[in-house]
Amino acid sequence: MEESSSSLHSVKIMHGRKLLNRIFSSVYGFAIVALFYHHLFTFTALHLRGRLSIFMLISDFILAFMWFTSQSFFMNPVTRQQFPENLKQWVDNKDFPAIDIFICTADPSKEPPLTTVNTVLSVLAYDYPTEKLSAYVSDDGGSKLILFALMEAAEFARNWVPYCRENKIEQRCPEEYFRRNHTITSQFQIIENLYLDMKMRIENVVERGEVVDECISDPQQRQAFSKWTKGFTPKDHPAIIQVLLESDKDKDIKGYSIPNLIYVSREKSTTSLHHFKAGALNALLRVSEAMTNAPIILTLDCDMYSNDPQTLQRVLCYFCDPSIRSKLGYVQFPQRYHGLNDDDLYGGDNVRTFRISPSGLDGLGGPDNCGTGCFFNRRALFGSPSSVTSLEHSGDSMAISSVSVVEIASHVASCNYEYNNTEWGTKVGIKYGTLVEDIYTGYMMHCEGWDSIFCDTERPAFLGEVPINLEDVLSQVKRWAFGHLEVLSCKYSPLTFGTKALGILRASCYIHYVFWPFWCIPVTLYASVPQLSLLNNISIFPKVSDPWFILYVFLFFGAYAHDFIQFILFKGTTKRWWNDQRMWYVKALSPFLFASIEYLTKKLGITTKGFNVTSKVVGQDERKMYDQSVFTFGIPSPMFVPLATVSIINLIAFVRGIVTVIFRMESLDELFIQLFIAGFAVVNCLPIYEAMLLRSDHGKMPERIVITSSVLAGVLCIAFSLIVS
């Protein structure tokens, strides 16, 4: 990518950072080559150390592979800037392109309807021509609770949208706005009371778990619930399309038009495949094509509210630039979060995944698709830049609430529609075949010739929620890791097809992504083999007095220093970086390992669990412990077993190593690296020891997990001793 500048936006290569990254990569790469030269001589030795070194050789090979593939992210760093104040020079407000907004939810028990409502209201209140905006909410579970909540939101929007416009407020998410502001004005108090009344009605219905007749006064609204018949279930029900707001007919309290709001629940059947979120997005793609057919599509998770009312203008700085729009597939904003504690205990901000890596890819042709906060060129979802010229509106000028339009929309949301149009999910729309449909879709769009842009603004464009207990964090990561393995093994794997379509440099980034689960191999081996060897007084690394010792020191501290610097450059803190690297260690030991095992069992034909929605429901005790930076274990999840087992082995090995050194000081020379690795692991595992041994609250490590892990650690220690004796 080359530097460029226009009155709408600019992109600049960070030459200083680029040079330093390349120098470091060259030096570190040479050190890795030297490491394998050392392994060659150690491995050929016939003594016990040589036989054990095969485990370290395997680990170092995978670590080296992951390091080399990660360097592509740092080869051409760029920074971008948008100039929305210059948009009027290019296009009038009345000529702004229409935008369809897709918001997905699936389970009101895990994704509170009020959260979805706040996201919807935040985008309906964008600083944008209201007649050009349409919000589609996909309710994949077909819940009455969601529809009721959206009906309430539609009524409140008539007050909220003009209030935001007149007062030019920046925070358009009502919950956040009222939490942060306590202005004593009559207008503020009126709108706050309206919101609190709406909130109370929604929460009462959710608590009751049912929408009763007395909750609905409008006969037309009551008619909307008639499709919830006796046989209606979340997995078996007809398509439901309900227009809640229509810009051509509905007005706000000031008499101005208001954006479209459409509820969509695609047809479900127990005999049909539904492809999880990807299937829901494709249904929205077809429904919106029948109703509004906007050329730009924004996809959002239900908990990812808009945090900047000027975001759409920033996006237009790219889509309105004639020099790039013909090949521009999407503009991706980073996933940013609210509600993180000061130390980001679980690494929920995912700075590497959602900011550092996409920023690096931006200099190579564009970032990956992160699934939310992404503005798609609708054309890009229907083929390559050369094969798709334009998409005309499939309907006519009829109102979107007209019977004929709703019938068409219901038809394209049916189960059988995709079976008659088999290119959906393969060549058209969001791609199927993996749980990470976002990264796979973005990757395939790049392979087809589309470019993308990473837009990381000073004020976060969107803010979402993060899981705040460890089990939810690990389950989410396991789902992502499983999806990456599906992409790795698919027909269009980045390892084979990607290198031809994108070139080795750009494809290496995607190769790095899909090999994520393989971190479990080197981390598990480094977390156990040196420690078990230490327990048996076996040295498997160079002595401190050996010149090769310096190489190991450089490789360890060089990798961590480079990662730390990258983290700080993206405005992270030292404490957050420490917690982030600890969570990398935890993820490699547990969810990456479980995802790999689950993937292998699936390939062997053994049934595994499907997609699970990450819970957005937060208990008061969980929130309190999270805010205090206390790990929450609570339930006896099997994913805690490897964490506890490794923690026990490292603690025993570290204590044994210290005792050995105290009574035989000369052994420190040959055992120092193993002692350091065990000590480093012990420091990382301090929250686990606390949960196992010191805590009595409900977030402590379950006794069943402690016992199982203790037995497993003992078995491993005994087995290793027998093998090496």
Residue with tokens 């010149």: 547
Name, in order, each residue with C-beta under 8 angstroms of 240's C-beta and a sequence gap of 6 or more: 142, 147, 227, 263, 264, 265, 410
Number of C-beta neighbours around residue 579 at 10 A? 22
CA Rg value for the chain: 27
Place of tokens 């080399």: 68
712/276 Cα distance (integer angstroms): 37
Helix axes 276-291, 437-448, angle to 10 degrees: 60
Contact call for residues 160 and 343 (beta carbons, < 8 A): no
Q: 10 Å Cβ neighbour count for 723?
A: 12
- Which active-site residues does the annotation give? 140, 438
DSSP 277-326: HHHHHHHHHHHHHHHT--SEEEEEETT-EE--TTHHHHHHHHHT-TTTTT
- Asked if 307 and 460 touch (Cβ cutoff 8 Å), the reply is yes
CA 445 – CA 18 distance, rounded (Å): 27
Q: 418: Cβ–Cβ under 8 A, 6 or more apart, which residues?
A: 279, 282, 424, 425
Gap between the Cα atoms of 76 and 22, Å rounded? 9
Q: What is the SS3 assignment for 540?
A: coil
Q: Strand locations in 449-565, DSSP E? A: 451-454, 462-463
Q: Quick one: which of 650, 716, 259, 639 has its CA closest to 476?
A: 639
Gap between the Cα atoms of 373 and 453, Å rounded:
12
Residue list for the binding site for Mn(2+): 277, 301
Query: What secondary structure does DSSP assign to 661-719, as a single string?
Result: HHH-GGGHHHHHHHHHHHHHHHHHTHHHHIIIII--STTSPPHHHHHHHHHHHHHHHHH
Please report, in range form, the residues annotated as the binding site.
110-111, 140, 277, 301
The number of angstroms, rounded, from the C-alpha of 609 to the middle of its chain's C-alpha atoms is: 20
CA distance 346 to 186: 42
Structure tokens of 457?
Answer: 């603004």
| Token output for 696 | 């009595």
The 3-state DSSP class for residue 404 equals helix
d(CA 110, CA 56): 42
Binding residues for UDP-alpha-D-glucose: 110-111, 140
Contact 211, 148 (CB under 8 A): yes
End-to-end CA distance of the chain: 58
Parallel/antiparallel/unpaired status of strands 305-306 and 240-245:
unpaired
Strand order in the sheet with 296-301: 240-245, 260-265, 133-139, 99-105, 296-301, 374-377, 328-332, 451-454
CA–CA dist 127, 124 (Å, integer): 9
CB 245 within 8 A of CB 154: yes
Residue with tokens 């610097």: 565
**Distance set, CA 71 to CA 209, 347, 545, 570 (Å):** 51, 22, 32, 17
Q: How far is CA 562 from CA 240, 280, 360, 558, in A?
A: 52, 40, 15, 6
